[in-house]
Amino acid sequence: MNTLSRLNPTSAQACSRRRAVVLGASFAAALAAGLVSGAAMAQPYPNRAVRVIVPYTAGGPTDLMARAVAKEMSAITGQPVVVENRGGAGGTIGAAAVARSTPDGYTLVVNGTFAHILNPTLMPKTAGYVPEDLAAIGMFARSPMILVVAPTLGVKSVAELIALAKSQGGKLTYSSAGPASNPHLATELFKALAGVELEHIPYKGVSATVPDLVSGRVPVAFGSPSLAEPLIKDNRVIPLAVTSAKRVAGHEQLPTLQEAGVKDYVFESSYVMMAPVKTPPDILVRLNQLLQQSLAHAETQKSMKGLGLETVQNSLDQAEQYIRDERARWDVVLKKIDLKLE
């Protein structure tokens, strides 16, 4: 006979009532905990700090534009949007880290579009990711590059540079922020279309290239406006041409490379913010909204203009289509220039 059946009826009834009360309280507590947990999960994104990886060293154009956007995104959301520099291997180390991160919208990457689509193609053994591992949030800025040389090189035009490069038989050097970075790709395209050889000297970031560029140790570079313009202003480098299809406001005296005799040359840097591909669609939509709001802000516009960038606003679909189009275009270019990094 169990304990409950040995009790008198009144005691048994009281015990049953107590057990019911305990079970009911436990159920209510569990339900409350579930509701609280559900409410926490339902909080609007973002509800904590967002990390934006820049896969290059601090101080370069990608870093500066990422910080301008992150500052305004933080102001809009009330949450920290923290930029973290993780450079190396032409941007692949930082990009691969984001591709492998939890797809929850709290780890993002800002990268050059060319580096994003071409690194895995050019360095498949070491890149650590493929373009499909990352989803575009928005392509948000673009700019031409400026071909500059050290004053000690003694050239004043693209024609003179080409002649000098041909006379040196591949010994003339140029700098870049690393394999498959924008300066590297811009120069490789120039080499192929101009019919010259130049020796590549890669650095860990564009800011690291400046001392050797201005001193003439590595005297040729394709630089972003944010890198080149201060050096041009201080007469530390000589500008030869711009890489865009048309002349650039503020540099109207500079010919395009096509005008300077390099047929079919057009190279415009573009920049994109991305998240791991399995990030929930609603979070990607929210991130695109935050990016567009940030880009529309006067302070962000001012920062971008100061970096020599044209601000671009687009939807998720437009950003993805832009990347697909650029990938198709560069598939053709890579066959033409026969560029291999591994």
CATH code for the domain in which residue 167 is found: 3.40.190.10
Going by C-alpha positions, the residue among 46, 117, 104 that lies closest to residue 332 is: 117
Task: Evaluate whether residue 1 is within a structural domain.
Answer: no
Task: Evaluate whether residue 194 is within a structural domain.
Answer: yes
Q: Residue 182's pLDDT is what? A: 84
Work out the pLDDT band at 23, boundaries 50, 70, 90: very low
Going by C-alpha positions, the residue among 227, 305, 309, 304 that lies closest to residue 71 is: 304
Q: Based on the domain organization, do 164 and 191 belong to the same domain? A: yes
- Return mean pLDDT, the chain: 87
- Summarize pLDDT for 31-59 with one digit per residue, the tens: 444 544 444 445 799 999 999 999 998 98
**Contact between residue 177 and residue 209 where contact means Cβ atoms under 8 Å apart:** yes
Q: Based on the domain organization, do 193 and 279 belong to the same domain? A: no
Distance from CA of residue 294 to its chain's centroid?
A: 16
Q: Based on the domain organization, do 153 and 224 belong to the same domain? A: yes
What single letter denotes the amino acid at residue 67? Answer: R
- Summarize pLDDT for 47-103 with one digit per residue, the tens: 999 999 999 989 888 999 999 999 999 999 999 999 999 988 878 999 999 999 999
Q: How many CB atoms lie within 10 A of CB 79?
A: 16
Work out the pLDDT band at 282, boundaries 50, 70, 90: very high
Which of 203-207, 217-221, 272-276, 317-321 is least confident? 203-207
Q: Based on the domain organization, do 152 and 180 belong to the same domain? A: yes
Q: Based on the domain organization, do 161 and 195 belong to the same domain? A: yes
Q: Based on the domain organization, do 55 and 78 belong to the same domain? A: yes
The 81-85 sheet, strands edge to edge: 81-85, 50-54, 107-112, 268-276, 134-144, 310-311
Give the domain range for residue 181: 146-242
pTM above 0.85, yes or no: no
Q: Based on the domain organization, do 230 and 186 belong to the same domain? A: yes
For every residue of 224-283, DSSP letters joined together read -HHHHHHHHHTTSSEEEEE-SSS--TT-TTSPBTTTTT-TT---EEEEEEEEETTS-HHH
Task: Evaluate whether residue 103 is within a structural domain.
Answer: yes
Q: Based on the domain organization, do 293 and 156 belong to the same domain? A: no
Task: Evaluate whether residue 262 is within a structural domain.
Answer: no
User: What is the distance between the alpha carbons of residues 17 and 23, in angstroms, rounded to a whole number?
Assistant: 10
Task: Evaluate whether residue 257 is within a structural domain.
Answer: no
Angle at 64 between CA 129 and CA 243, to 5 degrees: 80
Going by C-alpha positions, the residue among 318, 320, 331, 315 that lies closest to residue 277 is: 320
Q: Based on the domain organization, do 185 and 197 belong to the same domain? A: yes
Q: Residue 42's pLDDT is what? A: 59
Q: Residue 335's pLDDT is what? A: 82
Q: Residue 36's pLDDT is what? A: 44
Task: Evaluate whether residue 96 is within a structural domain.
Answer: yes
Task: Evaluate whether residue 248 is within a structural domain.
Answer: no
Q: Based on the domain organization, do 150 and 238 belong to the same domain? A: yes
Average pLDDT over residues 158-184: 93
What's the CATH code of the domain at 101?
A: 3.40.190.150
Q: Based on the domain organization, do 154 and 289 belong to the same domain? A: no
Task: Evaluate whether residue 31 is within a structural domain.
Answer: no
User: What is the distance between the alpha carbons of residues 186 and 157, in angstroms, rounded to a whole number?
Assistant: 17
Q: Based on the domain organization, do 101 and 177 belong to the same domain? A: no
Cis peptide before 61 (omega within 30 of 0): no
DSSP code for 100: T
User: What is the distance between the alpha carbons of residues 128 and 172, in angstroms, rounded to a whole number?
Assistant: 32
* Counted domains in the chain: 2
